[in-house]
Amino acid sequence: MLSFESDYNNGAHPDVLRYLLETNDEQTPGYGFDRFSECARQKIREACGFPDADIFFLSGGTQTNATVIDGVLQSYEAVISAETGHINVHEATAVEASGHKVIALPSHDGKIAPEELEKFMENFTADENKDHCAQPGMVYITFPTELGTLYSRAELDYIYKVCRRFELPLFVDGARLGYGLMSEECGFDLKWLAAHCDVFYIGGTKVGALCGEAVVFANRKAPKHFFTIVKRHGALMAKGRLIGAQFDALFSDNLYFRISRHAIEMANRLKTIFRNKGYRFVLDSPTNQQFVVLDNTLMERLGNTVLFSRWEPYSDTETVCRFVTSWATRAEDLDALEKCL
Amino acid sequence: MLSFESDYNNGAHPDVLRYLLETNDEQTPGYGFDRFSECARQKIREACGFPDADIFFLSGGTQTNATVIDGVLQSYEAVISAETGHINVHEATAVEASGHKVIALPSHDGKIAPEELEKFMENFTADENKDHCAQPGMVYITFPTELGTLYSRAELDYIYKVCRRFELPLFVDGARLGYGLMSEECGFDLKWLAAHCDVFYIGGTKVGALCGEAVVFANRKAPKHFFTIVKRHGALMAKGRLIGAQFDALFSDNLYFRISRHAIEMANRLKTIFRNKGYRFVLDSPTNQQFVVLDNTLMERLGNTVLFSRWEPYSDTETVCRFVTSWATRAEDLDALEKCL
Amino acid sequence: MLSFESDYNNGAHPDVLRYLLETNDEQTPGYGFDRFSECARQKIREACGFPDADIFFLSGGTQTNATVIDGVLQSYEAVISAETGHINVHEATAVEASGHKVIALPSHDGKIAPEELEKFMENFTADENKDHCAQPGMVYITFPTELGTLYSRAELDYIYKVCRRFELPLFVDGARLGYGLMSEECGFDLKWLAAHCDVFYIGGTKVGALCGEAVVFANRKAPKHFFTIVKRHGALMAKGRLIGAQFDALFSDNLYFRISRHAIEMANRLKTIFRNKGYRFVLDSPTNQQFVVLDNTLMERLGNTVLFSRWEPYSDTETVCRFVTSWATRAEDLDALEKCL
Amino acid sequence: MLSFESDYNNGAHPDVLRYLLETNDEQTPGYGFDRFSECARQKIREACGFPDADIFFLSGGTQTNATVIDGVLQSYEAVISAETGHINVHEATAVEASGHKVIALPSHDGKIAPEELEKFMENFTADENKDHCAQPGMVYITFPTELGTLYSRAELDYIYKVCRRFELPLFVDGARLGYGLMSEECGFDLKWLAAHCDVFYIGGTKVGALCGEAVVFANRKAPKHFFTIVKRHGALMAKGRLIGAQFDALFSDNLYFRISRHAIEMANRLKTIFRNKGYRFVLDSPTNQQFVVLDNTLMERLGNTVLFSRWEPYSDTETVCRFVTSWATRAEDLDALEKCL
């Protein structure tokens, strides 16, 4: 069945899997001290432009968010997020599990508004009762957002200025980072991003790997004892090589960016197909997630041959549906989709 | 370099990796709802003799321990473990991170004594101040233990009787389960084990997989909303197929047990080699971990050609060293070790 | 200095203090097993109309909220509250400290709308991804609210119907309960309230006591091991008699209700004074907290002789100010305030 | 009935209660910003010899332990305690509730041995796997201990040296501090103690107050945002004056030390009575808790007229019983006890 359901429906990119196969017989130390992980770290450091960056490999997005946030925050501190942020909506209270509140700011197509963040912090700082309140301790944004949108260079720059003014580390959830950076509408590259936040992660699970996210502390060092914090969160892989080797492959010959770019091209074609047939989008997403308004009757019929997500009701007779491309989407999949419509 | 350092130094068993390769192009739903995971569950249910068992795949041991314990316990409850239990020693407070105390009982070569467990619970129940104390909520044992030892059939039977008397679920950490069940000294099989505890897991990371543990709730159902609990712990893999497919392969053609048996045979040869050369063992381990007393001078010299763990000081001039075999150990590795000694 | 700053600026009501004095020399068991606590429990059970109610005495509001919520919820469950709810705003993440998320619904003058609660739960129940989300586990409301408003009989009835439909225990924070029940606008009495929620507390700290809140599980039994849960939260007083005796006094001769009624009368006079002088209120509060719009110049001048809270900016030149009466407010305080205006 | 059951069976010392009465009508700010709390802080600073000490008033012992430990530790850090330490035994996992492990060292009549603490830390520091372990983050001792014993000047000095060597803050639980300092066997005074630990508390609940403990950060400043941490733990009293005023009274005219001394004199007489009658003590306690071996038949008979605690079985026919004196014990109580024996 044709699937545009998510970007984690496939296995790994063939080059990634091949590398696992090639290196399988080699014996290595555990817990990320293997040579593949070290090699991947070096390549990522170079790609980020921070030769001393602290880099850790974790297995999935929710785990990474929970571990980084808990590691950076003091026990009594809270994380600021858009109301639609993944940590606020779809992580089953993984952040609260470590005792931290998520302070939700309004979502503008998945993004927080820099001005609103600034205003919130100014109000908080001026509040006579602030010592009775959750103490904002970091800012969390997603890039791309859960709705496929991107922060512009000016927006991210503004957000990071606010963060530094109020001494709030900025954390960028890059579960789909490649799909953001390789969009035509992205106003910056990985190096610029690394210089405009305090910690971010490079998503592997959704961009070619079987599993794995690379956490990068570039502008600031990792929290003291972060290795132990990772272990405490159950996030330390005994065979750390599994993730290390995959990122080693992904950051060889520009693979990560090439396959991300492919997904964007597929998304562009998908947009054209829908647009040409007169469908509306609920928002203008420049990345691999597209949100199309479908008439419910059509939606049911299409659902017989194509997999996609029913996102939310749009009207009594229409539904917002999400179509996702990935590194694995083929041109012929789009041809087939076009025929189905 | 020759390595007997651990059972997670290699990649995956070739049959496991081959299966990942074969199935890589197939598109599947995420989060464990794929057909490989379902197939693996069916095979494991059959192997356990519990056709209705609830089965979940998690990525690593510490994560599995923390998630199962937190899922089974009420917030104010504690888990009873041997003092040497992995959760009490080497998991960086992953259990306490969810608010649970580990109540440590004395370790007898890695095991708790059933009589001592019974006595502890009798005393606790009789204690007038018990409402001011940590409430025992489950019992955790490892099989094999961290020291390679095994509970006998009588011991496990006794422990489970005590558990049922005091309404304490019994949880068996089987990170090295195969190496326990396939030891000549093991007095029972997987079916008997499944019937004599409430929840256990079948270790994959140390027995042929790249990562992954299979949690089995056989005698009792999984806690309500366990899926959400797994997610909250950051332990839900988006590409659940990665673990599902590996267990599918491991439970085909008896692979899991065949490769476990191989590791035991290698361990038996390793024991013979050391014993023939006059070395002492600090305890009699019937499984794949062997604890040998080495003179410090020899230890340093041997360390130049062979990897192994320095476990703990034995005397001023001697050290307990751990040598581990696995599914990946080759007969020629043992020949080489023999020469080095 | 004249103070309308809060309802916890005074010591205890003289009758309460006198009772502490009279009973001081008596020796009693600790932890709430004393005869004063037992006597208070009996009187409260009678006042509530639930002869078997489970009753616990805790020392303060935040502590009580955190303990009750954590005691009732499963680890992975969240509590629903108005956005302005005390637990969501002014408790420094005491709820999140136990791992629970606060799900914030819109606040309508401090209240949640029953229809919105119902809609939220209907949407949640229908959400295909709900297992990845915070699981609603209880509903928290304040009575009176933080803004002095009251739920009508119809509203509370509706909310409780929704709660039962979705199996959500309803918890009523009654830190100022007396001031709510004794308002002319309150459509029910203590017995009716006790029958229309699952757990509530009767605030003592703000209504005549030095400290102490009485938690009442009327319609349902207290969670198993609630005594231990209280201890674990550091909320178990060694000298439980301190709170027990105070509630014993407060529930003798109707004292709790008489002094609450007095505060309402004082609030009514305060309203008249402000209204007669042409001041506006931002909302119509029928209880002891009044929110008046003051011109900033006047506010500063008045602040020299009267204590009150600056609540929030109203416009560039005006501020919402909170004036609070209590059991301790005297008629002459109002005379003095009138002169100051 | 004659009671030697505990030191929290009475109300407050008459002078303390009188002061509450005298100051009752005064209006004060909440949360510890009242003048009584400030006055008490000044007096305690002077008594400790640290004019800049940070001082906080909390309501009870378990709460204070949990709040201080959580405030000082990083999330992944553990607290070292004697196996018999109150936090390890009788606090219903209040420390674990905030995610922290209690590392238990052997108890020698309630005390940890400085040499064993040093050895533990040396071993930990040398452990190659230490990053996988609970990270020791502070040391907790009780003074007097749960068994009434006292650390000598040399012992405490040694412990503090070890603490500084390994950068572990030292926390002294002084729930019964007065009874320790006023014992003839105590080798130091409050000033010396304050200079030989990092944070300690002065117990009020068991020494003359209705409730309340004074936390003193003398040698080091309080953790950043400790006020918020206290609130988050539900430990911030709205009417902070209740505890402030009591400590104000207790630290006037040396009251705290005079009434502590009285309890010690009563304990000395109690020891003489038992000793003269030929009873044995299980250990030599120089403070207000005495542990006597009673024949079970006598114990039952004595239990008809005297309240005391059954501590633990001593032999098949004998039980260790605890007799406690306090500031409230009267000479005639001891006369009466003597007659009963």
Distance CA A311, CA A309 (A): 6
The distance of D257 to chain B (nearest Cα, Å) reads 30
Which residues of A are less than 8 Å from C98 in CB distance?
Answer: 99
Confidence of residue A287 (pLDDT cuts 50, 70, 90): very high
pLDDT digits (tens, 9 = 90+) for D84-100: 999 999 999 999 999 99
- Of the pLDDT bands very low, low, confident and very high (cuts 50, 70, 90), residue D219 is confident
pLDDT tens for A100-138 read: 999 999 999 999 999 999 999 999 999 989 999 999 999
Compute how many other C-beta atoms are within 10 angstroms of the C-beta atom of residue B116: 14
Q: What is the mean pLDDT of residues B21-47?
A: 97
Quick one: closest CA in B to C129, which residue?
B228
Q: How far apart are CA C290 and CA C322, in angstroms?
A: 6
The answer on C334 and C291 residing in a single domain is yes
Residue B330 near chain A (CB below 8 Å): no
- Nearest CA distance, D132 vs chain A (angstrom): 6
Residue D24: which of C17, C64, C235 has the nearest Cβ? Answer: C17
- Specify the pLDDT at position A291: 98
Q: Which two tokens stand for residue D287?
A: 């403070």
pTM exceeds 0.80, yes or no = yes
Residues B277, B283, B284, B288, CA torsion sign: negative
Chain A residues in contact with C101 by the CB 8 A cut-off are 93, 96, 102
Mean pLDDT across A43-71: 97
Tokens of A248: 């080693």
Strands B318-324 and B289-295 come out as antiparallel
C89 touching A (Cβ < 8 Å): yes
Q: Does B248 touch chain C (CB under 8 A)?
A: no
Res B219: pLDDT: 85
Instruction: Tell me: pLDDT of D1 over 90.
Output: no
Helices (H), chain A: 14-22, 35-48, 61-72, 86-89, 114-126, 153-165, 177-181, 190-195, 226-232, 241-250, 255-276, 296-302, 331-340
CB environment B35-49: b (16+ within 10 A), e (fewer) = ebbebbbebbbebbe
In angstroms, what separates the C-alpha of C293 from chain B's closest C-alpha? 45
d(CA B210, CA A240): 9
* Residues of chain A contacting C104 with CB distance shorter than 8 Å: 104
The values of phi and psi at residue A41, to 5°, are -60, -45
Torsion, CA B327, CA B328, CA B334, CA B337, rounded to 10:
-120
Residue where a domain terminates, one of A193, A215, A250: A250
d(CA D31, CA D36): 12
Task: Give the model's confidence band at B220: pLDDT under 50 very low, under 70 low, under 90 confident, else very high.
Answer: confident
Radius of gyration of chain D (CA): 20
CA distances from residue B60 to A210, B100, C251, C273, C298 in whole angstroms, order as listed? 15, 20, 56, 68, 65
Residue C250 one-letter amino acid: L
**Cα torsion at B269, B271, B274, B275 (round to 10°)?**
-110
D touches which chains (3+ CB pairs under 8 A)? A, B, C
- Smallest Cβ–Cβ distance between A231 and the set D98, D132, D224 belongs to D132
pLDDT of residue D220: 85
- Within 10 A of D184 (CB to CB), how many other CB atoms are there? 9
B246 and B262 both lie in a single domain: no
Give the H or E element holding residue B135: strand B135-142
Q: Count other C-beta atoms under 10 Å from residue A277's C-beta.
A: 10
- The reply to whether A225 and A264 lie within a common domain is no
Residue-range definition of the domain harbouring residue A297? 2-7+255-340
Work out whether strand B77-82 and strand A309-313 pair parallel, antiparallel, or are unpaired.
Answer: unpaired
Tens digits of per-residue pLDDT, C65-83?
A: 999 999 999 999 999 999 9
Q: Which of these, B72, B117, B110, B77, lies nearest to B96 by C-alpha position?
A: B77
For residues D81 and D94, what is the distance between their CA atoms, to the nearest angstrom? Answer: 14
State the average pLDDT over residues D24-34.
96
Q: Does A104 touch chain C (CB under 8 A)?
A: yes
pLDDT of A219 higher than 90: no
Give the number of other Cβ atoms within 10 Å of residue D197's Cβ.
23
CB-hemisphere CA count at 13 Å for B46? 11
Across the interface, which of D93, D128, D134 has its CB nearest the CB of B93?
D134
Report CA Rg, chain A.
Answer: 20
Tokens (6 digits) for C311: 């609540």
- B229 CB neighbours in chain C (<8 A) are 75-76
Task: Name the residue among C220, C132, C219, C148 with its Cα closest to residue C185.
Answer: C148
Spatial CA neighbour of D127 closest among B310, A220, C50, B54: B310
Q: How confident is the model at residue D262 (pLDDT cuts 50, 70, 90)?
A: very high
Say whether both C263 and C129 belong to one domain: no
Written as six digits, the tokens of C3 are 């103070």
Best mutation target among D33, D56, D75 (most A Cβ atoms within 10 Å) is D75
Q: Using an 8 Å Cβ cutoff, are A156 and A163 in contact?
A: no
Tens of pLDDT, residue by residue over C242-284, are 999 999 999 999 999 999 999 999 999 999 999 999 999 999 9
Which token pair is B42?
């069916």
pLDDT in tens, B146-161: 999 999 999 999 999 9
Within chain C, which residues score under 70 in pLDDT? none
Do B152 and B203 belong together in one domain?
yes
**Edge-to-edge strand ranges of the sheet holding C54-58:** C54-58, C213-217, C199-203, C170-173, C135-142, C77-82, C102-105
- Does residue D64 sit in the same domain as residue D198? yes
- For residue D79, the domain's CATH number is 3.40.640.10
User: Which of D224, D250, D276 is at the close of a domain?
Assistant: D250
Minimal Cα distance from C62: which residue of A? A132
Q: Under an 8 A CB cutoff, do C75 and B135 touch?
A: no
Q: Are residues D236 and D325 in the same domain?
A: no
- Answer yes or no: are the C-beta atoms of D141 and D283 closer than 8 Å: no
Q: Which of D219, D250, D281 delimits the end of a domain?
A: D250
Q: Strand B213-217 to strand C318-324: parallel, antiparallel, or no bridges (unpaired)?
A: unpaired
**Are residues C182 and C297 located together in one domain of the fold?**
no
Structure tokens at B46: 């059959």
- Alpha carbons B226 and A111: distance in angstroms, whole number: 32
At residue A1, does pLDDT exceed 90?
no
Q: How many CB atoms lie within 10 A of CB D331?
A: 11
Query: Using omega within 30 degrees of 0 as the cis cutoff, is the peptide bond preceding D169 cis?
Result: no
Same domain, D102 and D237: yes
Q: What is the CATH number of the domain that holds D289?
A: 3.90.1150.10
CA dist B159 and B170 (Å) reads 8
Same domain, C75 and C98: yes
D136 and D283 fall within a common domain: no
ipTM above 0.95, yes or no: yes
A241 has pLDDT over 90: yes
Q: What is the mean pLDDT of chain A?
A: 97
Distance CA A195, CA C52 (A): 63
Which DSSP helix (H) or strand (E) runs through D178?
Answer: helix D177-181
Pair C213, C265 in one domain: no
In total, how many domains does chain B have?
2
Query: What DSSP character marks residue C129?
Result: T
Q: Which of A69, A79, A101, A127 to mutate to test the interface with C (most CBs of C within 10 A)?
A: A101
d(CA D279, CA D144): 23
